[in-house]
């Protein structure tokens, strides 16, 4: 099939590359011309394990190309994926300007029957808006061309995106017309040899499914963080509680790891967008409000723990931070807990030395030049450099190289053997035996 994918971010680029890998001919479109130029030179602008090879191989084989001209891309295809961003607006609602802009352009260039697929995460009712915008453009061109709008939300995880796309748990397709359903079934047959994976449903059902999935996962995390904070006050080890409840098959182990809050480009914005949908539909989403509030507060826990430990103040102290990305496996720092922590430390007069295996370039963009110029934030080349003469080490992102570090080296480097573990990676008993002053999340008065 000939496919157009609009937007070459984490979702669009993975979608385009994976469809090309299955033998389809894919043209990816992005308004960011610098990005398109890099992609045409075989350079992948984001970090996603395995993506480079798939993009480069398919580009070389002529199945994957990149352009900033949507009309050029549309000339050869009849399926158009919209995979542009839907960032949060000021009121928390999903900002649809990019999606509707693409819809308008599709309407300006559509010449034959086409299937327009919303892959971006969009509120219930967006397919109707896309349909209206396209129809209006066709009206203005005095054309009567049939088209369908389908909802096909994406469930990939950054850091495991290729595997998730190639071997999905499910493929949700919201579709009303039999013609579009046939196109989508053909498109996804290679990814769903077990046909149960392809789930057809109503367009609005599919739109809500995506938000409900992310909100459920966010709820599990915030719930566990709440219990962890309670455990700290009770002298209980939350890690024992986690194992104790995760073994219940009705609960399971996924997404019940306590930590310093969820971030990324999806959970925070999708929870807020669903709350906003609640307002629009006259329903108060109490659980979602609490999930969001708990998460906002949880992102401050590491700073609070440092403040408790250094009761005489953090001004003039140096803190070593391991991990900047919002989770391991990605360079994405959108809504990362590291940003909250570092901003608060700098505001308090501390100096931060930080290291991340892949997000260092992204970190340079996240903070103003002034903090680097003033030496308030130093990005270090190696993980141990970040701890040199620091008053404490804080683990924010649980990258693999941080999981079994050389604690002897850490102890020698730190001015004081203080470890704040935002992801409960280390054993409090063993660290205390080695002379560390250790605090995790939900495991404070242990050892
Ligand atoms: N990142 C994830 O893990 C993930 C997972 C599932 C779903 N989603 C959803 O997928 C959507 C895209 O997310 P992302 O993380 O890939 O976004 P992103 O910000 O990484 O990429 C969006 C891309 O779209 C481009 N763009 C914007 N307007 C355009 C236009 N008019 N024409 C062409 N290109 C345009 C931008 O230049 C950018 O390259 C969002 O709705 C998001 O919620 C994201």
For residues 57 and 20, the answer to whether their CB atoms sit within 8 Å is no
Yes or no: say if 92 and 277 are a contact pair by the CB < 8 Å rule: no
Q: How confident is the model at residue 193 (pLDDT cuts 50, 70, 90)?
A: confident
Closest atom of ligand 1 to CA, residue 8: 39
Q: Which residues are catalytic?
A: 266
Residue with CA at minimum distance from ligand 1 atom 25 = 7
Q: What is the CATH number of domain 299-439?
A: 3.40.50.720
What tens digit of pLDDT does each residue of 206-235 get?
A: 999 999 999 999 999 999 999 999 999 999
Distance (Å) of CA 113 to CA 3, 15, 141? 13, 22, 15
Q: Please, what is the end-to-end C-alpha distance for the chain in angstroms? A: 61
> Three-class SS of residue 88?
strand
* CATH code for the structural domain at 211-297: 1.10.1040.10
Residue 8 predicted with pLDDT over 80: yes
How many C-beta neighbours within 10 Å does residue 397 have?
Answer: 27
Residues of the chain with CATH 1.10.1040.10: 211-297
pLDDT in tens, 383-441: 999 999 999 999 999 999 999 999 999 999 999 999 999 999 999 999 999 999 999 99
The protein residue with its alpha carbon nearest to ligand 1, atom 28, reads 98
Would the CB of 10 count as within 6 Å of ligand 1? yes
Kindly report, residue by residue over 126-153, the tens digit of the pLDDT: 999 999 999 999 999 999 999 999 999 9
Q: Going by CA atoms, what residue is nearest to atom 13 of ligand 1?
A: 85
Question: Which part of the chain has CATH 3.40.50.720?
Answer: 2-201, 299-439
CA–centroid distance, 207 to ligand 1, in Å, is 16
Q: Is the CB of 211 under 6 A from ligand 1?
A: no
320 touches ligand 1 (CB under 6 Å):
no
Give me the mean pLDDT over the 298-318 stretch.
Answer: 97
| Helices 203-234, 267-280: inter-axial angle, 10-degree rounding | 120
Residue 270 CA: nearest ligand 1 atom is 43
422: part of which helix (H) or strand (E)? none
Domain 2-201: CATH class, spelled out: alpha beta
* pLDDT at site 82: 98
């Amino acid at each position: 099939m000939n496919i157009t994918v609009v937007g070459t971010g984490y979702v669009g680029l993975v979608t385009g590359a994976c469809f090309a890998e299955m033998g389809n001919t894919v043209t990816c479109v992005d308004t960011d011309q610098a990005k398109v130029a890099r992609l045409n030179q075989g350079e992948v602008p984001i970090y996603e394990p395995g993506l480079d090879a798939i993009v480069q191989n398919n580009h070389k084989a002529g199945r994957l190309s990149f352009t900033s001209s949507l009309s050029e891309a549309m000339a050869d295809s009849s399926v158009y994926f919209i995979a542009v961003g839907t960032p949060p607006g000021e009121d928390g609602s999903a900002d649809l300007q990019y999606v509707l802009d693409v819809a308008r352009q599709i309407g300006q260039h559509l010449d034959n029957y086409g299937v327009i697929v919303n892959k971006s995460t969009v509120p219930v009712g967006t397919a109707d808006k896309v349909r209206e915008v396209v129809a209006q453009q066709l009206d203005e061109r005095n054309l009567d061309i049939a088209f369908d709008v389908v909802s096909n939300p994406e469930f990939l995880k950054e850091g495991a995106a290729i595997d998730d796309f190639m071997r999905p748990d499910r493929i949700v397709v919201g579709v009303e017309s039999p013609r579009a359903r046939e196109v989508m079934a053909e498109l996804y047959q290679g990814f769903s040899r077990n046909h149960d994976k392809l789930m057809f449903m109503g367009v609005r059902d599919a739109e809500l499914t995506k938000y409900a999935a992310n909100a459920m996962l966010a709820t599990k995390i915030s719930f566990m963080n709440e219990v962890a904070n309670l455990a700290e006050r009770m002298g209980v080890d939350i890690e024992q509680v986690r194992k104790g409840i995760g073994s219940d098959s009705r609960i399971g182990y996924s997404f019940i790891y306590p930590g310093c809050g969820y971030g990324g480009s999806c959970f925070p914005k999708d929870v807020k967008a669903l709350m906003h949908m609640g307002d629009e539909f006259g329903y108060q989403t109490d659980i979602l409000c609490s999930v969001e509030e708990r998460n906002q507060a949880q992102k401050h826990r590491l700073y609070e723990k440092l403040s408790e430990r250094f009761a005489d103040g953090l001004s003039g102290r140096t803190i070593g931070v391991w991990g900047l990305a919002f989770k391991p496996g990605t360079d994405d720092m959108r809504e990362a807990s590291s940003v909250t922590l570092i901003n608060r430390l700098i505001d308090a007069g501390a100096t931060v030395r930080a290291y991340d295996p892949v997000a260092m370039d992204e970190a340079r963009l996240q903070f103003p030049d002034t903090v680097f110029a003033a030496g308030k934030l130093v990005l270090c080349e190696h993980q141990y450099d970040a701890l040199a003469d620091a008053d404490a080490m804080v683990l924010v992102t649980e990258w693999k190289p941080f999981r079994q570090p050389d604690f002897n080296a850490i102890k020698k480097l730190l001015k004081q053997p203080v470890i704040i573990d935002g992801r409960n990676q280390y054993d409090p008993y063993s660290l205390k035996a080695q002379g560390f002053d250790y605090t995790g999340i939900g495991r404070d008065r242990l050892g």
